[in-house]
């Protein structure tokens, strides 16, 4: 998606060979117009897939997942990173390792909101090692629903996330595929 790639070039900050910071327009401040366009792009990519739910994980996935769900005309569900006092029903729970934060988190979704027969599009901001997306996919499958695809804003192709997701049979669509962050330079796969 050219618009996202240009914005990453303009406002992304390369912290080191592994870490790209996009707090300017995705992870802290959010550009609503860009999110609407990202939602349209995902809806277009998956328009043949008869999606019934969009699933993401708090917090940075919420904006793009909401916009994709709005375009697709379906509800959006976000997984919680820990249980809150007002969430008591039976939960679908998976354990996910966050590479960025170097910690293991439980993520949880109520069994009420992903149900057998659902055709689920998973959305997340980054794809690196794939742990978050795999955790969300396991939650969908625990529920007896189908993972129709995984939509990613920014994929780091030099990390094994896509390979792990595709080995599990999932369709992965990334809007910006970064091949390298070496030398403070963002290089895309298709450059």
The nearer residue to a copy of itself, 21 or 50, going by C-beta atoms, is: 21
CB of residue 58 to a copy of itself, shortest distance in Å: 4
The nearer residue to a copy of itself, 163 or 184, going by C-beta atoms, is: 184
- Is the distance from CB of 76 to CB of 54 less than 8 angstroms? yes
CB of residue 2 to a copy of itself, shortest distance in Å: 21
CB of residue 190 to a copy of itself, shortest distance in Å: 26
The string over 154-191, giving b where at least 16 C-beta atoms fall within 10 Å of a residue's C-beta and e elsewhere, is bbbbebebbebbeeeebebbbbbbbebbeeeebeeeee
How many other CB atoms are there within 10 angstroms of residue 34's CB atom?
A: 19
- For residue 105, what are the CA distances in angstroms to 16, 25, 55, 120, 171? 25, 25, 17, 22, 25
The nearer residue to a copy of itself, 112 or 167, going by C-beta atoms, is: 112
CB of residue 72 to a copy of itself, shortest distance in Å: 9
Can you give the binding site for a copy of itself, defined by CB under 8 A?
Answer: 15, 19, 21, 23-24, 27-33, 35-36, 58-59, 62-63, 66-67, 69-70, 74-78, 80, 84-87, 100-102, 109-110, 112-113
Beta-strand pair 119-127/53-57:
parallel
The nearer residue to a copy of itself, 83 or 191, going by C-beta atoms, is: 83
How many angstroms separate the CA atoms of 46 and 51, rounded? 8
The nearer residue to a copy of itself, 110 or 157, going by C-beta atoms, is: 110
CB of residue 1 to a copy of itself, shortest distance in Å: 18
């Amino acid at each position: 998606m050219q618009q996202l790639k240009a914005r990453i070039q303009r406002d992304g900050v390369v912290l080191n060979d592994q870490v790209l910071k996009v707090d300017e327009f995705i992870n802290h401040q959010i550009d609503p117009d860009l999110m609407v366009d990202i939602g349209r792009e995902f809806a277009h990519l998956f328009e043949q897939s008869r999606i019934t739910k969009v699933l993401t994980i708090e917090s940075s996935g919420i904006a793009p997942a909401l916009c994709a769900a709005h375009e697709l005309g379906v509800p959006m569900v976000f997984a919680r990173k820990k249980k809150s006092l007002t969430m008591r029903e039976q939960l679908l729970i998976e354990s996910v390792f966050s590479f960025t934060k170097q910690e293991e988190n439980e993520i949880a979704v109520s069994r009420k909101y992903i149900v057998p027969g659902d055709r689920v599009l998973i959305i997340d901001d980054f794809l690196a090692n794939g742990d978050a997306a795999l955790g969300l996919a396991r939650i969908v499958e625990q529920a007896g629903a189908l993972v129709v695809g995984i939509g990613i804003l920014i994929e780091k192709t030099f990390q094994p996330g896509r390979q792990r997701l595709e080995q599990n049979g999932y369709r992965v669509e990334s809007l910006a595929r970064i091949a390298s962050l070496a030398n403070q330079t963002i290089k895309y796969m298709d450059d």
